[in-house]
């Protein structure tokens, strides 16, 4: 089981040089076409699902449920990025848009499946390739959840943790809320008393909402955007806040969401409307996930390296599957710079992680 690094690099180059921003479904589909051709060569059965997701099945059938592998073909990078960030190797790093997040993860799965040489695990392997992870997975979420219900374990090939190369055994839940304050406009000089300031209520709410954070429990709340008012000499009739919520547990996510929805204005003439909610539930490191992680640690040790496990703040499609089926995340390619100009994969570390994934697919 020796990953063919030059072939992996060539495969990665082919995927990276097809730019695939989430906003261009045709471009994302071109990446999927390349992956689909490879999946068929490996003996996979390809099936398009509504909304642009593709499903590849390897030896799926019979009594046992398959292992589910989650991949996404979209990136955060707009067309033209390759002009400034071409695919290139520098030392033991491979740079380019979407290398680390997560086209190298896709290549790793294909090479791991290839290394099994048709000896599929009991129940087989089902791979989902989705088009919209970077924009919240709205179209693919139902397929992801349905596939998780029919699977016995889920592997997500998002990259491991930067620097430590640790696997991801939990992720915070992610929520976003919009608060709009509707006050009463009035002339600041002539009739200040007739106005009800939306900005005053919004300002109060900023502090109230941020006080809901419980960093000791992993709950953070940030008002990231604020807008309001129409002119300096008008008591403002409207103001809006946009809030980012991260929570490690379902209970904490619900506590904050309920408190935000229950906000009451100090001035009863101001009305508050709340939109949004928890987009991705918390991925809590349950016993099933920890058991998968234990297997991964044992396998890595047998292969001659150590692999850690961390709970991280960012979300992935693993947040949707973890409440349903034991999920292990971060099984993609080591590197750094997701969504940043220095995005890269670490060539010295990548083969080890592909060997780990191969063994997990073959043995779990
Ligand atoms: Zn990703």
- Cβ proximity of 328 and 154 under 8 Å: yes
Could you tell me the CA-to-CA distances from 38 to 35, 41, 61, 95, 143 in Å, in that order?
5, 5, 21, 23, 22
Centroid of ligand 1 to alpha carbon of 316 (angstroms): 7
In whole angstroms, give the CA distance from residue 269 to residue 254.
Answer: 28
Centroid of ligand 1 to alpha carbon of 119 (angstroms): 28
Q: Where in the chain do CATH 3.40.630.10 domains reside? A: 5-170+283-363
Q: Which residues surround ligand 1, an ion (CB under 5 A)?
A: 101-102, 158
Instruction: Please calculate the CA angle 117-120-126 and round it to the nearest 5 degrees.
Output: 115
Which DSSP helix (H) or strand (E) runs through 64?
none
Phi, psi of 180 (to 5 degrees): -115, 130
Centroid of ligand 1 to alpha carbon of 180 (angstroms): 31
Centroid of ligand 1 to alpha carbon of 159 (angstroms): 7
Centroid of ligand 1 to alpha carbon of 65 (angstroms): 25
In whole angstroms, give the CA distance from residue 299 to residue 317.
Answer: 24
CATH class of the domain whose range is 173-280: alpha beta
pLDDT score recorded for residue 62: 86
Centroid of ligand 1 to alpha carbon of 331 (angstroms): 11
pLDDT score recorded for residue 2: 83
Q: Where in the chain do CATH 3.30.70.360 domains reside? A: 173-280
Architecture of the CATH domain 5-170+283-363: 3-Layer(aba) Sandwich (3.40)
Which DSSP helix (H) or strand (E) runs through 7?
helix 5-16
pLDDT score recorded for residue 218: 93
Instruction: Please calculate the CA angle 325-329-330 and round it to the nearest 5 degrees.
Output: 170
- Could you list the pLDDT tens digit for every one of the 364 residues in the chain? 788 999 999 999 999 999 999 999 999 999 999 999 999 999 999 999 999 999 999 999 889 999 999 999 999 999 999 999 999 999 999 999 999 999 999 999 999 999 999 999 999 999 999 999 999 999 999 999 999 999 999 999 999 999 899 999 999 999 999 999 999 999 999 998 999 999 999 999 999 999 999 999 999 999 999 999 999 999 999 999 999 999 999 899 999 999 999 999 999 999 999 999 998 999 999 999 999 999 999 999 999 999 999 999 999 999 999 999 999 999 999 999 999 999 999 999 999 999 999 999 999 9
The two tokens of residue 231 are: 């002119």
- In sign, the C-alpha dihedral spanning 21, 26, 30, 35 is positive
Centroid of ligand 1 to alpha carbon of 14 (angstroms): 18
């Amino acid at each position: 089981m020796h990953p063919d690094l030059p072939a992996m690099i060539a495969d990665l180059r082919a995927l990276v040089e097809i730019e695939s921003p989430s906003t261009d479904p045709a471009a994302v589909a071109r990446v999927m076409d390349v992956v689909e051709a490879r999946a068929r060569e490996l003996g996979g059965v390809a099936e398009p699902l509504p909304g642009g997701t593709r499903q590849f099945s390897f030896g799926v059938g019979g009594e046992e449920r398959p292992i589910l592998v989650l991949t996404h073909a979209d990136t955060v990078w707009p067309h033209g990025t390759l002009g400034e960030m071409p695919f290139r190797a520098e030392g033991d790093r491979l740079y380019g848009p979407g290398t680390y997040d997560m086209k190298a993860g896709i290549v790793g799965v294909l090479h791991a499946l290839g290394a099994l040489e048709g000896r599929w695990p009991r129940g087989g392997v089902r791979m989902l390739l989705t088009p919209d992870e970077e924009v919240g997975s709205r179209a693919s979420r139902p397929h992801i959840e349905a596939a998780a219900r029919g699977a016995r374990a889920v592997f997500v090939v998002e990259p491991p943790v930067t620097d430590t190369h640790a696997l991801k055994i939990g992720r915070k839940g992610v929520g976003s809320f919009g608060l709009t304050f509707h006050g009463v406009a009035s002339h600041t000089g002539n009739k200040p008393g007739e106005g009800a300031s939306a900005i005053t209520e919004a300002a109060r709410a900023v502090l109230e909402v941020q006080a809901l954070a419980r960093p000791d429990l992993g709950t953070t709340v940030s008002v990231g955007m604020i807008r309001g008012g129409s002119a300096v000499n008008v008591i403002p009739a409207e103001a809006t806040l946009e809030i980012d919520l991260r929570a490690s547990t379902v209970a904490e996510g619900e506590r904050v969401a309920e408190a935000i929805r229950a906000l009451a204005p100090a001035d009863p003439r101001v009305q508050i409307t709340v939109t949004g909610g928890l987009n991705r539930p918390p991925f809590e490191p349950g016993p099933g996930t920890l058991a998968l992680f234990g297997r991964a640690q044992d396998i890595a040790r047998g292969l001659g390296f150590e692999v850690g496990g961390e709970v991280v703040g960012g979300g992935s499609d693993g947040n949707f599957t973890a409440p349903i089926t034991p999920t292990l995340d971060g099984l993609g390619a080591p590197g750094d710079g997701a969504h940043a100009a220095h995005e890269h994969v670490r060539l010295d570390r990548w083969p080890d992680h592909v060997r780990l994934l191969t063994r997990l697919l073959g043995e779990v």
